[in-house]
Amino acid sequence: MRFVVRRLGFFVLTLWAAVTLNFLIPRLMPGNAAIAMMSRYKGHIQPQALHAIEVAFGVNTHESLVHAYFTYLGNIARLRFGISLTFFPDQVTHQVLQALPWTLALVGITTILAFVLGTFIGLISGWRRGGMLDGTLPPLFVITSAFPYFWIGLLAIWLFSIKLGWLPESGGYDVQTNVAWSWSFVSDALTHAVLPAFTILITAIGGWILTMRNNMISVLAEDYVRMARAKGLSSWRIMWTYAGRNAILPNLAGFAMSLGFVVSGAILVEYVFNYPGVGWMFLQSVENQDYALMQALFLLLTVAVLVAILAADGATAVLDPRTRDRS
Amino acid sequence: MKRALFFFALIVAGAAVWTGFGSADSTAVKSSKATTSVTISNEQGTTWTCGFNPFNGNVNALSVGPVYEVLTFENGLKSGATTNWLASGYKWSNNSKTLTFTIRSGVKWTDGKPFSADDVIFTYNLLKKNPGLDLNADWAVLKSVTKNGNKVVFNFKTSAAPYFYYIGAQTPIVAKHIWSSIKNPVTYKDTHPVGTGPFKMSSCSPQVIKYGKNSGYWQKGYPKIDTIYYPAFTSNDPANQQLASGKAQWGSQFIPNINAYYSSKSKDNHYWFPPLVNVDIFFNLKNPILSNVAVRRAIAYAVDRGKVSRIGEYGYEPPSNQTGIVTPTFSSWLDKGLASKVTYDPKKAMSILQQAGFKKKGDLFYTKNGKPLSFTIMNIGGYSDWVASVQVIQQQLKAIGIKITPENLSGTTYDNNAYTGKFQLMYNGNESGGPAPYYELRQLLYSKNSAPIGKIASSNWERYYNKSVDRLIEAYAATTDPAKQHDIIRKLEEHMVNDVPVVPVTEGVDWYQYNTKNISGWVTQGNPYAKPAAYEIPDWGIMAMHLHAK
């Protein structure tokens, strides 16, 4: 019980700190949103528009920082994030909810897939050190993980969409398809997700393989594994319940973190493939000094990471009795 | 190692099989194409909000032109030649203080209701009531707008001939029966715009806007194509790729090495980059050294504009001249004698500095007080062409003994510094210009567009104050006589050459690529009937309406 209370207390404290920083940091940046919008249009709108935009955006309204902070806390408690200036005059919530499913589906599924596959490959290759699998997959994926992501992305586009023409090179779906829950739309969206997913997978998997393999090797040297062998247990049982269960523990926290970061999207993926997720929205909101959007996205990210860590703590407690309270 | 290669081959083959299934699906999706459509490729950096409020600077380029229309179309590639649009005629009177439009009859809104002078009056009063909508600052010069039968009379505070462009050619007209019931028009999204234009917005998602033909359009026989697709591109490369592959036919993109990347891909791929405004070296005239005209003149002679254009801009943006007149777009306004006065001449540049009392020690010139001619030049780090151009300029100025150090900033910080005057030198082409050279020169030189250092200046960022230039700019506003206008512009060119408030280096262009495989009717160099970039309002709607199947 004390364990749960302590964890929850820590969660609330971190959340408050994050929310406060989230409020302060954007306001320390120079410039204002109206100028940011003018610069986005590279002279395509008249210079006299600046005044109109300032009036519309309500900048230069000299609200005191303290007052703004409490209004902000109140709004967050009620999940009201206000109007986005990047997507003026649309609601922040509406914009984020539009982009989030694309990111969750693409980055979320590939993150889980990379973890599961990576852990599995790491487990097997650690178990059979020097075997056929151990000699090929870990080195290969470590190499692919070492490449810069955008380079792999551009290479994949060049090979699979430009040279071979098998897959679309950009976007979340074909622009001439109607958006609906129909087979043609879903299959089109899946086709568009193949290349980004493939490139994320091969660049993310190496880390999981390597850590899992190394954990496995050190766990295999433990006395309790020798004991299990001496007892004459089947190697299958030793691999999974003795070695695997202990080797996965350090990876769990890392996995939880990366699951949390899924909601921040993958800026490079979305940039290279013109994918409509939240990663690009993040960058846009910062560039356009869109406090409202920035705060909503950062809050989402913080909460997701904190919740994921809380969940990982829980999972660790289940898998590893040593971390539980003595009481 | 051998095994690794084997596995790599296996993975590639696996990926190939896996992805092969996908492509079969996507071809099935794209098969039905019985109607004529055009796809635009123009990177905007964001996904669509599906708002179309024509008075929201964020999205007005998506509705003004194809959906909402203006009173008169002014062609910026033909020195502002006018075509009557929602107005069937106009007349200036009272020493350019009164402008009367005759409103066209027989025009209908896309919801079937008739368009009338009431809508026009309503629109301008809406802007008056809501300054947040008045993107062109119409009410900075307007006194009143009144109706007289089917005529609308605009009364101005002062002579306002050049404001015709903003009032008549840039302000979209909206429907009174719709907008009069909207509580807050500034935050109104306008998701289903009702306009008078050739197209209707038929569907929108964050990724693509689809415009359909307005079959009841008032200009009989137009538009000729059925559909326009406007996908949202958040980055340049995918947008360029769509153009190169022919999936998008109308581009407004900067494409590096365009001949290899785009033109060579198909004989149907073409491009034309009409120059519109100058990209200049701005001097902070409040800086004690830069306020000395000799330094500015020396720099004007030291820059080899042709070389900057070739190396920095791939030759897409042609070299400028010191008069500030963009050629060939506005050649009829150019005083060739004045333009040829300032040419690339590093020896002359050095002699100007010596005559003005600057002393050369080592590689650098120094002032009498011993200060070196060494400045920072502010630039936008994200514009690779500008960064390259400034590197060329840096070399050329080094050769005459002036040191410049580039500061490549983010767009927002850069603009903030430009507006508030926090720079020494600046490389900038963000003036919006207009249908005649007057607009750019006014933005650059008129003291009312400036502000003290620390306060926001709308466009005279170098902080140039010259009473005789102000008088010329105001005199132009009072005349609609082309001969007098040309005479005034020639005098302004003289000030540009003698005072060197800025140094024009290259000419900023409209980015425009077009594919002639299935579609014709495009704007070409031989037939420049509108500005061709898909972000020009209202021009792109006018071009879209003239496109037709081959």
The tens digit of pLDDT for each residue in B387-428 reads 999 999 999 999 999 999 999 988 878 888 998 999 999 999
Gyration radius of chain A's alpha carbons: 24
User: Whole-angstrom Cα distance, residue B1 to residue B408?
Assistant: 46
CA B172 to chain centre: 18
The least confident of B203-207, B319-323, B527-531 is: B203-207
Beta-carbon contacts of B427 under 8 Å, excluding residues fewer than 6 positions away, are B279, B280, B281, B282, B377, B378, B379, B386, B389, B390, B393, B505
Whether B415 and A39 lie within 8 Å, measured CB to CB: yes
Q: Report phi then psi at A279, rounded to 5.
A: -60, -50
User: Whole-angstrom Cα distance, residue B282 to residue B270?
Assistant: 34
Q: pTM score, two decimals?
A: 0.83
Express as a percent the part of chain A with pLDDT over 70: 91
User: Whole-angstrom Cα distance, residue B297 to residue B497?
Assistant: 9
Whether B414 and A39 lie within 8 Å, measured CB to CB: yes
pLDDT of B20 reads: 39
Whether A50 and B458 lie within 8 Å, measured CB to CB: yes
A158 interfaces chain B, CB cutoff of 8 Å: no
User: Whole-angstrom Cα distance, residue A322 to residue B35?
Assistant: 69
Inter-residue contact A205 to A119 (CB < 8 Å): no
The 3-state secondary structure of B364-402 reads EEECCCCCECEEEEEEECCCHHHHHHHHHHHHHHHHHCC
Helix and strand counts by DSSP (H, E) for chain A: 16, 0
User: How many angstroms separate the CA of residue A31 from the nearest CA in chain B?
Assistant: 6
In the predicted structure, residue A56 carries a pLDDT above the cut 50: yes
User: How many angstroms separate the CA of residue B351 from the nearest CA in chain A?
Assistant: 37
pLDDT of B182 reads: 93
Query: Of B39, B235, B458, which is closest to A274 when you measure between CB atoms?
Result: B235
B462-495 confidence digits (pLDDT tens)? 999 999 999 999 999 999 899 999 999 999 999 9
Question: Which chain B positions have a beta carbon within 8 Å of A95's beta carbon?
Answer: 49
pLDDT of B21 reads: 38
Query: Of B3, B25, B430, which is closest to A43 when you measure between CB atoms?
Result: B430
Q: What is the DSSP track for B406-459?
A: EEEE-HHHHHHHHHHT--SEEEE------SSHHHHHHHHH-GGG---TTSPPSS
pLDDT of B10 reads: 43
In the predicted structure, residue B31 carries a pLDDT above the cut 50: no
Question: Which chain A positions have a beta carbon within 8 Å of B60's beta carbon?
Answer: 45
User: Whole-angstrom Cα distance, residue B228 to residue B221?
Assistant: 17
B250-307 confidence digits (pLDDT tens)? 999 988 889 999 999 999 999 999 999 999 999 999 999 999 999 999 999 999 999 9
Q: Name which residue leads in pLDDT, A44 or B68.
A: B68
User: How many angstroms separate the CA of residue A161 from the nearest CA in chain B?
Assistant: 10
CA A313 to chain centre: 19
Query: Of A160, A195, A287, which is closest to B412 when you measure between CB atoms?
Result: A287
pLDDT band at A44 (very low <50, low <70, confident <90, very high): low
Which residue matches tokens 């003595």?
A326
In the predicted structure, residue B66 carries a pLDDT above the cut 60: yes
Question: Which chain A positions have a beta carbon within 8 Å of B239's beta carbon?
Answer: 274
User: How many angstroms separate the CA of residue A89 from the nearest CA in chain B?
Assistant: 5
Question: Which chain B positions have a beta carbon within 8 Å of A166's beta carbon?
Answer: 16, 19-20, 22-23
Whether A43 and B186 lie within 8 Å, measured CB to CB: no
User: How many angstroms separate the CA of residue B459 from the nearest CA in chain A?
Assistant: 6
Q: Name which residue leads in pLDDT, A178 or B448.
A: B448
Closest-CA residue of A relative to B185 is A56
Question: Which chain A positions have a beta carbon within 8 Å of B137's beta carbon?
Answer: 46, 48-49, 51-52
User: Whole-angstrom Cα distance, residue A215 to residue B462?
Assistant: 63
Question: Which chain A positions have a beta carbon within 8 Å of B416's beta carbon?
Answer: 30-32, 35
A123-163 confidence digits (pLDDT tens)? 888 888 888 888 888 888 888 888 888 888 888 888 888 88
Question: Which of A76-80, B33-37, B41-45, B80-84 reaches the highest mean pLDDT?
Answer: B80-84
In the predicted structure, residue A31 carries a pLDDT above the cut 80: no
Question: Which strand (E) or helix (H) includes residue B477?
Answer: helix B467-477
Inter-residue contact B503 to B320 (CB < 8 Å): no
A72 interfaces chain B, CB cutoff of 8 Å: no
Query: Of A44, A178, A187, which is closest to B61 when you measure between CB atoms?
Result: A44
The Cα diameter of chain A in Å comes to: 84
Whether A174 and B136 lie within 8 Å, measured CB to CB: no
A186 interfaces chain B, CB cutoff of 8 Å: no
Burial of B236 (0-12, 13-18, 19+ CB in 10 A): middle
Q: Report phi then psi at B524, rounded to 5.
A: -130, 170
Mutate to test the interface with A, among B32, B234, B409, B445 (most CBs of A within 10 A): B234
A99 interfaces chain B, CB cutoff of 8 Å: yes
Whether A188 and B39 lie within 8 Å, measured CB to CB: no
What tokens does A304 get? 């997701």
pLDDT band at B28 (very low <50, low <70, confident <90, very high): very low
User: Whole-angstrom Cα distance, residue B190 to residue A179?
Assistant: 21
In the predicted structure, residue B7 carries a pLDDT above the cut 60: no
Query: Of B3, B46, B57, which is closest to A284 when you measure between CB atoms?
Result: B46
Instruction: Share the mean pLDDT of chain A.
Output: 82
Enumerate residues 269 to 308 of chain A having a beta carbon within 8 A of any beta carbon in chain B.
Answer: 270-274, 276, 280-281, 284, 287-289
Query: Of B231, B416, B432, which is closest to A43 when you measure between CB atoms?
Result: B432
Whether A52 and B433 lie within 8 Å, measured CB to CB: no
User: How many angstroms separate the CA of residue B486 from the nearest CA in chain A?
Assistant: 23
For the four alpha carbons of B389, B383, B209 and B67, in that order, the dihedral sign comes to: negative
CA B472 to chain centre: 25
* Local structure of B208: helix, strand or coil: strand
A88 interfaces chain B, CB cutoff of 8 Å: yes
Mean pLDDT of A24-42: 70
User: Whole-angstrom Cα distance, residue A10 to residue B451?
Assistant: 52
A321 interfaces chain B, CB cutoff of 8 Å: no
Express as a percent the part of chain B with pLDDT over 70: 94
Enumerate residues 212 to 251 of chain A having a beta carbon within 8 A of any beta carbon in chain B.
Answer: none
The least confident of A35-39, B88-92, B100-104, B338-342 is: A35-39
User: Whole-angstrom Cα distance, residue B156 to residue B95?
Assistant: 10
User: Whole-angstrom Cα distance, residue B48 to residue A87?
Assistant: 8
> Measured between alpha carbons, how far apart are the two ends of chain A, in Å?
9
Whether A276 and B207 lie within 8 Å, measured CB to CB: yes
Q: Report phi then psi at B288, rounded to 5.
A: -60, -35
What tokens does B440 get? 């750019």
User: Whole-angstrom Cα distance, residue A138 to residue A58?
Assistant: 55
User: Whole-angstrom Cα distance, residue B296 to residue B356?
Assistant: 12
Selection from B246, B242, B19, B32 nearest residue A184 by Cα: B32
In the predicted structure, residue B18 carries a pLDDT above the cut 50: no
A196 interfaces chain B, CB cutoff of 8 Å: no
